[in-house]
Homo-oligomer: A and B are copies of this chain.
Amino acid sequence: MSRIVRVAVTQFAAEQQPSRNVDRAVALIEQAVEAGAEIVCLQELFTTRYFCQAEVHEHFDLAEPIPGPTTERIASVARRCKVSVICPLFERAGPGVYFNAAAVIDRCGTLVGHYRKMHIPDDPLYYEKFYFAPGDLGFSVVSLDGRVRVGVLICWDQWFPEAARIAALKGAELLVYPTAIGWHDHERAEFGQEQLDAWLTVQRAHAVANGVFVAAANRVGREGTVQFWGNSFVCAPFGRILVRAPTDEEGFWIAECDLDQVEAVRRHWPFFRDRRIDAYGPLLRRYGDGGARPGEEG
């Protein structure tokens, strides 16, 4: 069986009405499959605008269960088109308990994976700690159709080398990052280019350090004073960009990922062999000597 998997990332501007965004995502999935995609990664919270720009209790109405109406809709498309979909959602787990999550649906339409964002940001206009409990399912890897092992992470997770490393240690060959990141109007002129560059750099470095493919799907468009910067991309295990979207264009972008490169790159750059697991205990502390210690992290 071929070890080449065609991975698509989508990128579009969200509208106010969730059903229109789901329609849009379905159309993009169908088009991507038409163009050869076997896995499609949708952008973070793809059913809604980025509502975390303000703390508004009514926004919790946007949440839905997993499985729920949207996963069922996407599953029917996945089954019909024989495509796997990374489907990020605002998840309602129970009354007052919400997560920034992603369902993983395989080409049979089966819900095979469920990730809840582990690292939750909180920044001006990104008030996620108000909306989302920190993920409680750990870092997960799911095998899609027996062909590729995918580590699903979400947005803010992309800044944490620990998350990428743990997913790779659990066998991931491809990391996917549904994302919602953009420029503040008042920062863009001074810092915009550096911010985008840092975002690309830190994710490409996950590919390098772990010998995995990395795919990120970001939104575009203006919402309030934030301009989402697109630049959805897929890169290869040593960080080379295979495909990258522009800052403002909507659509899907497909990369051919030859999974044999994972082992080829790791044979030449055998970081896993040399990790000093005897000396990594300090990673389980908050800062200096503070926080949890090895064996206490429960």
- A interface, CB within 8 angstroms of B: 118-121, 123, 134, 138-139, 156, 159-163, 165-166, 169-171, 194-195, 197-198, 201-202, 204-206, 208-209, 238-240, 268-272, 274-288, 291-292, 294-298
Given A239-B197, A294-B294, A298-B294, A159-B269 contact (CB < 8 Å): yes
* Contact between chains at B209 and A161 (CB < 8 Å): yes
* Contact between chains at A283 and B286 (CB < 8 Å): no
Partner of A166, one of B197, B240, B282: B282
* Contact between chains at A281 and B297 (CB < 8 Å): yes
Q: How far is the CB of A244 from chain B (nearest CB, A)?
A: 15
Which residue of chain B has its CB nearest to the CB of A156?
B274
**Chain B residue contacts of A238, Cβ below 8 A:** 194-195, 198
**Chain B residue contacts of A202, Cβ below 8 A:** 205, 208-209, 239
Given A209-B160, A269-B159, A283-B239 contact (CB < 8 Å): no
Count this chain's copies in the assembly.
2
* Contact between chains at B279 and A169 (CB < 8 Å): no
- With A201-B205, A205-B206, A277-B291 known, 19 other A-B pairs at CB within 8 A are A120-B274, A134-B276, A159-B208, A160-B209, A161-B205, A162-B276, A162-B283, A166-B279, A166-B280, A166-B283, A170-B288, A194-B239, A202-B209, A272-B287, A277-B284, A277-B292, A281-B297, A294-B294, A294-B295
* Contact between chains at B159 and A161 (CB < 8 Å): no
Partner of A201, one of B156, B208, B281, B288: B208
Complex Cα distance, B272 from A238, in Å, reads 26
* Contact between chains at B282 and A239 (CB < 8 Å): no
Which residue of chain B has its CB nearest to the CB of A134?
B276
30 sample A-B contacts, Cβ–Cβ < 8 Å, listed by A number: A134-B276, A159-B269, A159-B271, A160-B209, A160-B271, A162-B165, A162-B275, A162-B276, A162-B280, A165-B283, A166-B280, A166-B282, A169-B287, A171-B288, A194-B238, A195-B238, A197-B240, A198-B208, A198-B238, A201-B201, A201-B204, A202-B208, A205-B206, A205-B209, A275-B286, A277-B292, A280-B283, A280-B284, A281-B298, A295-B296
* Contact between chains at A170 and B282 (CB < 8 Å): yes
**Chain B residue contacts of A119, Cβ below 8 A:** 274-276
Query: In the complex, which of the residues A163, A204, A268, A278 has the most CB atoms of chain B within 10 Å of its own CB atom?
Result: A278
**Chain B residue contacts of A269, Cβ below 8 A:** 159
Given A160-B209, A171-B288, A208-B159, A297-B279 contact (CB < 8 Å): yes
